[in-house]
Structure 1
Amino acid sequence: MTLLQRLRDLTRSEDDLVADELRSEASRSGCEPVAEGADREVITVRGTVRSVTHRPSTKVPALVAELYDGTEAVDLVWLGRREITGVEPGRHLRATGRLCRRRGGATIYNPAYEILPTS
């Protein structure tokens, strides 16, 4: 590592360093960046859950977890669920499903998921 690279790393924000680490973890495990996923493509993503919310509805409740992979956030939406044990902020997940891009946001409905150990 050159002196210039070290100085650049010292001036980077904590968020930039975390995003770099998430991107490299996803790449090493063979997952695709959310930012590069095309609409209606089946993708596998990996990242950290930033928030979990419950969207109550008179028809179908939904649990929504925002997953950040270092490139872009994706909403993982489980229809008919109020909670999923282990899916909580700060957890690392790998999720697979069909990416839906609407109104500028990325969403995967009812993804298959795996809770990963925190490194």
Structure 2
Amino acid sequence: MSAKDGGYFSRLVRKLTSDVDVLDADDLSQRSAAGGARRACDCRSGEEVTVLGRLRSVELCPSSEAATLEAELFDGTEGVILVWLGRRRIPGIEPGRTIKARGRMADRDGRKVLYNPYYELQTTS
């Protein structure tokens, strides 16, 4: 048995015995790195970043002045809140959709946030 075979069997055993959520997070993290994005856990406030992940939730947060659309993006390492000010809906921004977002990382109540990020809808493969 070669070292390569041992690696294959180790990965196979891990896939068969790991929780589905852990495997999904690993897959998202690998896809993010392959897409040229940074891992959310490595991003710091004030940095210009590009993150890639799946939208966990999307909600309209109306206020007295202007509506705000918020979405939580998860890249397999950590969540990032995407906030579009003055928007009620954006076509394609829906739970389960994979997107790449770019902007300046901020911090709001201890959570990582991108305000009005540039974004690209990703095709599933």
* TM-score, structure 1 as length reference: 0.94
Report deviation, 1:11.
Answer: 1.2
User: Equivalents in 1 of 2:90, 2:50: separation in Å?
Assistant: 19
User: Equivalents in 2 of 1:81, 1:59: separation in Å?
Assistant: 12
Aligned partner of 2:42: which letter?
A: E
Q: RMSD value over aligned CA atoms? A: 1.1
Flag structure 2 segments of 5+ consecutive residues without an equivalent: none
Match of 1:54 in 2: 60
User: Equivalents in 2 of 1:69, 1:31: separation in Å?
Assistant: 10
Please identify runs of 4+ aligned residues in structure 1 that moved more than 4 A: none
1:1-119 to structure 2, matched below 5 A, reads: 1-2=5-6, 3-119=9-125
* TM-score, structure 2 as length reference: 0.90
Deviations 1:14-55 (CA, angstroms, capped at 9, x unpaired): 011111111111101110011100111110000001110000
Of all paired residues, the percent bearing the same amino acid is 44
Q: How many residues align?
A: 119
Flag structure 1 segments of 5+ consecutive residues without an equivalent: none
Aligned partner of 2:18: which letter?
A: R
